[in-house]
Chains A and B, each alone.
Chain A
Amino acid sequence: MKRILVSIKRVVDYNVRIRVKPDGTGVITDGVKMSVNPFDEIALEEALRIKEKGLAEEVVAVSIGPADCQQQLRTALAMGADRAVHVQTDAIIEPGTAARLMHKLAEREQVMLAVLGKQAIDDDCNQTGQMLAALWGRPQATFASKVEINGDKALVTREVDAGLETVEIDLPAVITADLRLNEPRYVKLPDIMKAKKKPLETIEPAALGVTPVERLKAVKFEPPAQRSKGVMVKDVQELVTALRGKSLV
């Protein structure tokens, strides 16, 4: 079966104002709204569109983390994923561990494609997709803004510093989604009801032969240096005079 694997990371919602705990041991996540990582939502939307074009038959959503991750997997199922796999663990999951788990699942499920968000908006690492591709020995097309599947190949346009780069990759492969790849669909109420009946498998990392390791240990968290609020000028002349005084214009 032509199958696509999609990552679904549970993260602090995009709109939450992040605050560091006063004792510097982390950021405040208690009672904070949690969501699907927005880049993963884009990845899932792309997988669903590929399936809807008849180019894939099944979309499998994967989340790694504590029991609560099932909320985000239910969202993924409501969006249209066919089934979900929850790799349940309370361990700290570094991108290297996430990539090893995704690799095992990609092989178990014999997928044609793994689509991940290009980064998670919590740790901003931007690593898992590339690491998965390396472990799997397969191509990677990161920061994708357009994907065209042609048989056993894909043509992917990537957002790079110089502009837009196009690469051709052999499948199976890893694609990571950038912001402008698509606009994810909204979930409708009947879909939420239907999602409750879709299969959600729970396994432990050990069942995939992976032991989570923490190699980059967090020593301390601190708020960023704040810029002080400057001055408001009343008109353009005053602005130009001020900037000229600092030889900036």
Chain B
Amino acid sequence: MSKILIVAEHAGGKLNPVIAKCVHCAAGIAGAEIHLAVFAADAASVAAQAAQIAGVAKVITVTHADHANPLAATVAPQLAELAQGYTLVFGPSTTFGKDLMPRVAALLDAPQASDIMAAESATRFKRPIYAGNAIITVEVEAGTRVVATVRTASFEAAGAAATPAPIEAATLSATLPTHTRFVSVTSARSDRPDLQTAKKVVSGGRALASADNFKILYSLADKMGAAVGASRAAVDAGYAANDMQVGQTGKIIAPDIYLAFGISGAIQHLTGIKDARTIVAINKDPEAPIFEVADYGLVGDLFQVVPEFEKLISSGS
């Protein structure tokens, strides 16, 4: 039996949908007994959502006023204490998980496997290296406790449970440090779908040439019910917000359709989209590397293509 603890990331009272993907990853391990841990100021609503995921045996809540905005420094000591009874400790490969899990691994003196794309057993994992240009299989000795972050783009979400898992409050003795304090978070909030979990993504590169020009992509995205992404070049140039970046150091996504406008397709960008079901590339340069991976390619000027595309999908012709 493998006892697996997964950190249930949440924000604004909502469980992050990628947690169901982490559960799916863990459920593939023979004899998995999966528990989710919710760290929150008020855990009730998130715990109830976590209990609805198929394959979850128990939800553990850790309530503390400091977890209103959970920080790695404050969550890690408690998570490490809770993890004592587990062989595997998983978190999502989100910025939250990437920040938190190595701190926990060090406190546990455990190795960490980052961005796992497959858990072949409780001791053997596959993960991408070199921006996804090579896949490594790593193995630990039997009985070793392992911390991992799960590359959520590699997994479907686990389904809904027939009956919800029991919820239990944990009492922990770890002291929370006060040396790290949350100040604020600013998001370019929009009512568009979340980029990380969206089924459809419209994305733009440097060729958009200005933040103002990105509006044509927002308009198209709204018509399609899509999220909007961007290449690193577009974010660096200030045309798009940092949370829109797709690629090795941004978000790794797996939508049903990814429409890339004016993105040349650097390997660092391609690593973020290679799990997309269908990739569509529109670029002026017929030699652009993105055409090598695109299911559909169109050589053309995006400033003509985007409005025409939007018109055609709206008209139904």
User: A residues touching B (Cβ–Cβ < 8 Å)?
Assistant: 12, 17-18, 20, 27, 94-96, 99, 118-119, 121-135, 137-143, 145, 155, 158-170, 173, 178-180, 215-224, 227, 229-237, 239-240, 242-244, 246, 248-249
Contact = CB atoms under 8 A, between A and B. Distances in A.
Contact of B305 (A20, A165, A218, A236): A236
A217 to B, nearest CB: 5
A231 B73 contact: no
A227 B254 CA distance: 14
10 contacts: A18-B130, A126-B114, A131-B103, A133-B73, A142-B98, A164-B187, A168-B180, A216-B146, A230-B279, A236-B305
Interface residues of B, number: 86
A224 B292 contact: no
A166 B139 contact: no
A236 B309 contact: yes
A240 B182 CA distance: 46
Given A220-B137, A236-B312, A96 B106 contact: yes
B298 A236 contact: yes
B73 to A, nearest CB: 6
Main secondary structure of the interface of B (DSSP, over half): mixed
A178 B134 contact: no
Contacts, number: 239
Interface of B: 11, 71-73, 76, 94-96, 98-107, 109, 111-115, 124, 128-141, 144, 146, 177, 179-188, 196, 200, 224, 232, 235-236, 241-243, 248-249, 251, 256-257, 267, 274, 278-280, 291-300, 305, 308-309, 312-313
Contacts of B96: 160-161
A131 B105 contact: yes
A223 B180 CA distance: 41
Contact of A139 (B73, B241, B242, B312): B73
A161 B189 CA distance: 12
A18 B279 contact: no
A180 B76 CA distance: 27
Nearest to B292: A229
